[in-house]
Amino acid sequence: MSLEPEAARPREGRAHEIRFTLNGVQRSASVGITMSALQMLRDVIGLTGTKYGCGEGECGACTIIVDGLSVNSCLLFALDCDGRELTTIEGLAGDARAKVLSQAFVEYGAVQCGFCTPGMMVQATHLLATQPHPDAAAAKRAIEGNLCRCTGYQKIAQAIVAAGQALAAGDQP
């Protein structure tokens, strides 16, 4: 039996107001109890850079950063974003690591149809923030939860390694 007061418990069919930081800005959203963070981002807030691939935690197209950890937003309840700090692909627009990475993605042919690219970029930027000079094995490990049907992964791993090297060499925008 829950000790939470009846009024405080989330209820099916009722909208719940949550507050969080999204890409550095304080936001609020009205969300349903079964809504995912991905649905909230795309359908409530209108940030469509985060992609819906499988909806089951298998493809990584929906990767975002929540309180410093990379997360499949399709598996996270929107309600659980309350009080948290979220970063999406849109939030990387001014990020120096992401800028070097995006240049490397283009240079190495790591973007083809582009569907996986936002999730890959979020994951790779997170990797470079936590491990600035990854080798190819570390780059492949970082993206093992992100599926790509086009590139064969090699080009993406090469781009991530090259971005780390460029950043280490001070080759920043």
Q: Closest distance between ligand FES and the C-beta of residue 14, in Å? A: 25
CA atoms within 13 A on the CB side of 100: 21
Comparing CB distances to ligand FES, the nearer of 41 and 128 is 41
If we measure between CA atoms, which residue out of 54, 80, 49 comes closest to residue 64?
49
Choice between 61 and 167, CB closer to ligand FES: 61
Please, what is the minimum distance in Å from the beta carbon of residue 11 to ligand FES? Answer: 26
Task: Assign 69 to helix, strand or coil.
Answer: strand
- Dihedral sign computed on CA atoms, order 66, 91, 118, 106: negative
Task: Tell me how far, at minimum, the Cβ of 5 lies from ligand FES, in Å.
Answer: 33
Question: What are the residues whose beta carbons fall under 8 Å from the beta carbon of 80, sequence distance 6 or more?
Answer: 37
First CA to last CA across the chain, in angstroms? 56
Distance, CA of 172 to CA of 42 (rounded, Å): 31
| Beta carbon nearer to ligand FES, 69 or 169 | 69
Nearer to ligand FES, 133 or 149 (CB): 149
Q: What tokens were used for 119?
A: 């999730």
- Residues making contact with ligand FES (CB under 6 A): 52-55, 57-62, 72, 74, 111-116, 148-151
Nearer to ligand FES, 15 or 136 (CB): 136
